[in-house]
Structure 1
Amino acid sequence: DRDDDPGRGEVSDGDPAFTTGGATVDGRTAGYRFAAVEVTTPRDETVTVYAGADLAAARDAVGTVTRAMLAGLPLLLAVVAGVTWLVTRRALRPVEAVRAELAEITASGDLARRVPVPESRDEIAGLAATTNETLAALEESVARQRGFVADASHELRSPIASLRTQLEVAAAHPGLLDVDGLVADVVRLQHLAADLLLLARIDAGDRPPARPVPLGRLVRDELERRAGAGRVAVRASIEGDPRVMGVPGRLSRVVGNLLDNAERHADAAVELSLREEAGTAVLRVADDGPGVPAADRERIFERFVRLDDARSRDEGGAGLGLAIARDLARAHGGSIAVGDAPGGGAVFEVRLPAT
């Protein structure tokens, strides 16, 4: 702050200018850091006042720090590297355990084994848990595949054995040749091979291009194709013509398999209805047969499952019709379920998203 002392000069408002240079003080030359400030004297003379600080102390301090860092840096880097290695090794130890167990599973082929899940609730534990879920799904898939192959082999063995027997008898006694029986066995074998091929394509993810399909027209065509060929008459109630996205041939297969199943178990009548409910095409096929017990309503959709094992294979089929119908319905984004028909018997309901 300024006062009324006439001997004091007035400092200009400008910031001081800093420079670095050499100066000789008391016969000793050294480097200095200078600050220059302009001052106005009481006589209105402007002079420049210089103030300097010796840089030797600062340079000595910087040199000391530099030498200390150069001496301690290698040790510091070694400590950091060691700590990093230990921490990383400990963190990746569960990953190595998972890798080693997967290698053992691959070498042994034992899909029942599982990888260890660490107690920590981190990403590695999540990876191990997901790996175990994948192994469980893979084990189930392989088991199903093996069962499918075994069941298919068993089902194919019967018609092939029958054909061989009839041909051997015909070769020895031509007069005993049963042409109708041979044709029936060949047709059955052909249908079974077609079913197995379709299931294999579904399992492989085969998805032909979908297009809008008028379901009412498709059901009418299927009924006309079967007219007079079934054991019982089919009463149909078709309301409208809901459209669904799908493959016409495979949708016809769903309808045909359900009608085949209903006709096989019906006593005297089969009823089919089709309508659209809240944006969903609903197809129902009911029969007046013995129905399906509640405990078996999920099992009947498994492959090669027949609840009527006492029947002959010609009457009971190979147990693939409902499995194919369910897989095809799911492939079209729909579902299929079985319940009790209002008049007794079983009713199968297929729901497909309408467009």
Structure 2
Amino acid sequence: MRGRLFGSVRSRATLAATLVVAVALVAAGTAVLLSLRSNLIGQAATEAERAARAVASEIALTKPQDRLSVDKDVPVQIVDEDGKLLAASEDLERISGTGTDAVRPQPQPSLGGAASDAGDSGDSDDDADDDSSLASLEPGEISDHTTFTNGTATVDGETDEYRFAKVHVEVDGRGTLTVYAGAPLSAEQSAVKTALTVLLIGFPLLLGVVAGVTWLVTRRALRPVEGIRGEMAAITASEDLARRVPVPDTHDEVARLALTTNETLAALQTSVERQRRFVADASHELRSPIASLRTQLEVGAAHPELLDLDGAVEDTVRLQDLAADLLLLARLDAGERPGDARFDLGALAREQADGRANVTVEAQAVAVAGARGQVGRVLTNLLDNAQRHARSAVTVTVRKDGAWAVAAVADDGDGVAEADRERIFERFVRLDEARSRDDGGAGLGLAIARDVAVRHGGTLTVGRAPAGGALFELRLPQAP
């Protein structure tokens, strides 16, 4: 059942579309979350920098003897050049991610000498860039350079993550002080969490909608294909090649598939009908010499003195020739390859015309490739046909015509009417003047000749000879 499900074009299309949309949604969702987080962190950094610069502005105006204090709801630290805490937010209980983790400054006994027993943890952000920016500060001046870090702080019993801004300020009598101020990241975390929850809930629902829509759309798109399949199954079951599959009005690939299928059915129907006619005509043609031969043998058995031995031999020869023609046609229809042996078409023409009365040969030496026996059969059939219709003479010429080798057989008979010049190459076709089975053949000679010519990459056509009769031209590619 699983194999049938995933063997369906509709199932595979639905799965592929769902996977593509899922990948696109994951990529888009990740990009949205990263962008949202970056924007919110940027906002927190802006708020932290604003608070740090506000504190820096206040202490830049203090006098050396004034005590430093911070009146902010956010975590703030003021640190001297030695990394000692001079002041901090009143409700600050714990902090990390700044230059020092001290939260309670010691009393400041003297000007700029506010001692603190808070541990000196070092300022991780006092890098070479900060030192270079501090060298040019004047008293009361705030550095343009701001450094940002992430950390945590506990304010009034509540612990949260913060974005800290670090700003330097030059204070007269106190030296260079560093202000750390933080802005909470709770809004960023809450927004990202909410967006992630929405995405986790919305993505499966959206994928379900995509899968459902794709399933319905592909079902509608493939409905004509199912109609074609059903009709083909019915044609196979009924063996009625006259039926055709429905062609949708969509003018797309499915419509072209239906048209091609109908063309294939038409060609198959023509081939089958041709095969049936061939079998019927062959049976009819075989019945006549067999019946005649049987009659003569039965008469000879009852009355030996009445046996027509010549007639029996003639019927046997006719039967043998017809069987050979049918066998050759069967081999040609089976797609037998002609081979690539080289031979001289002019010499072959002289060989086939040798011993025939009233036949003149003018043949150049022209090399062709293929089955010598089959090409010889073509020339034999053309000579037989020409002698059957000629009044007095048959002319055979072989010449070169560009890349072609041309063998022409002409007679001085009545010729072939223009309307019949293609019909005479059909199987079992005999024109009115050649319908007698005693005088004419079975109507296979010219059909065999054209089939052999086509399979050798050439052509066989009929026209009007200079003497007024028929002119058959066999064109074959010259051998390289």
Give the TM-score normalised by the residue count of structure 1: 0.90
Task: Report Cα offsets for 1:174-214 as digits up to 9, x if no partner.
Answer: 12122221111111100000000000110110114222222
Q: What residue identity is the alignment partner of 2:420?
A: D
Q: Distance between the aligned counterparts of 1:252 and 1:47, measured in 2? A: 114
Q: What is residue 139 of structure 1 aligned with on the other side?
A: 269
Following TM superposition, by how much is the alpha carbon of 1:59 offset from its aligned partner in structure 2, in angstroms? 1.2
**Aligned in 2, Cα 1:334/1:41: closer, same or farther, shift over 3 Å?**
farther
**Secondary structure of 1:274 counterpart:** strand
Pair 1:50–1:288, CA change in 2 (3 A): farther
Q: Distance in 1 between matches of 2:478 and 2:181?
A: 92
Amino acid at match of 2:362: S
Partner of 2:471: 347
Partner in structure 1 of residue 431 of structure 2: 307
1:7 counterpart (134, 140, 158): 140
Work out whether residues 308 and 316 of structure 1, in 8 Å CA contact, stay in contact via their aligned partners in 2.
Answer: no
Inter-partner Cα distance in structure 2 for 1:48 and 1:261: 118
Q: CA deviation at 1:310?
A: 5.8
Amino acid of the structure 1 residue aligned with 2:141:
R
**Partner of 1:336: helix, strand, or coil?**
strand
- Structure 1 pair 83/173, CA: closer, same or farther in 2 (3 Å)? same
1:76 corresponds to which letter in structure 2? L
Which deviates more, 310-319 or 64-73?
A: 64-73
The residue number in structure 1 matching 2:342 is 212
Q: Quote the Cα distance in structure 1 between the aligned partners of 2:165 and 2:350.
A: 104
Residue equivalent to 1:297: 421
Pairing partner for 2:359 from 216, 228, 234:
234
SS in 2 for 1:350: strand
CA drift of 1:354 comes to 1.2
| Identity percentage of aligned residues | 63
1:332 matched to which residue of 2?
Answer: 456
1:136-187, Cα deviation, whole Å (9 max, x unpaired): 0000000000000000000000000011101110110112122221111111
2:86 — aligned with what?
Answer: none
Aligned to 1:80: 210
Q: Report the Cα offset of residue 68 of structure 1.
A: 2.5
The residue number in structure 2 matching 1:181 is 311
Greater displacement, 193-202 / 174-183: 174-183
- Please give the secondary structure, in 2, of the residue aligned with 1:32: strand
Judge which range, 274-283 or 210-219, deviates more.
Answer: 210-219
Aligned equivalents of 1:310 and 1:27: distance in 2? 120
User: Computing the radius of gyration over CA atoms, which structure comes out larger, 1 or 2?
Assistant: 2
Whole-Å separation in 2 of the counterparts to 1:52 and 1:283: 104
**1:7 aligned partner, one-letter code:** G
Q: 2:185 aligns with which of 37, 48, 55?
A: 55
- Aligned to 1:20, the other structure's residue is in SS state strand
In the superposition, relative to structure 1, how do residues 77 and 168 fare at CA in structure 2: closer, same or farther (>3 Å)?
Answer: same
5 Å-filtered alignment, 1:86-235, equals 86-224=216-354, 227=355, 230=356, 232-235=357-360
Residue 321 in structure 1 maps to residue 445 in structure 2: yes
Partner of 2:439, secondary structure, is helix
- Tell me, yes or no, if the aligned pair for 1:275 and 1:282 is still in contact at 8 Å: yes
Shift of 1:88: 0.8
Cα 1:46–1:153 change in 2 (3 A) is farther
Q: How far apart, in 1, do the equivalents of 2:200 and 2:137 lie?
A: 57
2:198 to 63, 68, 77: 68
Q: Structure 1 residues 223 and 29, CA, compared in 2 at 3 Å: closer, same or farther?
A: same
Q: Which runs of 5+ in 1 are unaligned?
A: none
- The Cα shift of 1:47 comes to 6.6
Count residues in correspondence.
Answer: 345
Give the match for residue 246 of structure 1. Answer: 370
Relative to 1, partners in 2 of residues 1:327 and 1:28: Cα closer, same or farther, differing over 3 Å? same
1:281 is aligned to 2:405:
yes
Flag the 1:28–1:321 CA change in 2: closer, same or farther, 3 A: same
Report how far residue 83 of structure 1 moved. Answer: 1.0
Q: In the TM superposition, what are the counterparts of 1:36-51 in structure 2 within 5 Å? A: 36=166, 39=168, 41=170, 50-51=180-181
**Structure 2 gap segments, 5+ residues each:** 1-135
Which secondary structure does the structure 2 equivalent of 1:313 belong to? Answer: coil
What CA RMSD, in Å, does the superposition of the two structures yield over aligned residues? 2.5
- The offset of 1:76, in angstroms, is 2.4
How has the CA–CA distance of structure 1 residues 278 and 310 changed in structure 2, closer, same or farther, with 3 Å as cutoff?
A: closer
Structure 2 CA distance for partners of 1:255 and 1:277, relative to 1, 3 Å: same
Question: What is the TM-score with the length of structure 2 in the denominator?
Answer: 0.67
Q: After TM superposition, list the pairs within 5 Å mapping 1:14-29 onto structure 2.
A: 16=147, 18-25=148-155, 28-29=158-159
How far did residue 34 of structure 1 move? 3.5
Deviation at 1:84, TM superposition (A): 1.2
Q: Do residues 257 (structure 1) and 257 (structure 2) align?
A: no
Separation of aligned partners in 2, 1:216 and 1:48: 111
Amino acid at match of 2:360: R
Asked whether the 8 Å contact 2:389–2:411 carries over to 1, the reply is: yes
The alignment partner of 2:212 has SS state of: helix
Q: Using the TM superposition, give the Cα deviation of residue 19 of structure 1 relative to its aligned residue in structure 2, in angstroms.
A: 3.9
1:35–1:194 CA distance, 2 compared to 1 (3 A):
farther
Give the Å deviation of 1:216.
1.6
**How far has the Cα of 1:340 moved from its partner?**
0.7
Checking the alignment, whether the CA contact within 8 Å between 2:416 and 2:463 is kept in structure 1 is yes
2-side partners of 1:187 and 1:48: how far apart? Answer: 123
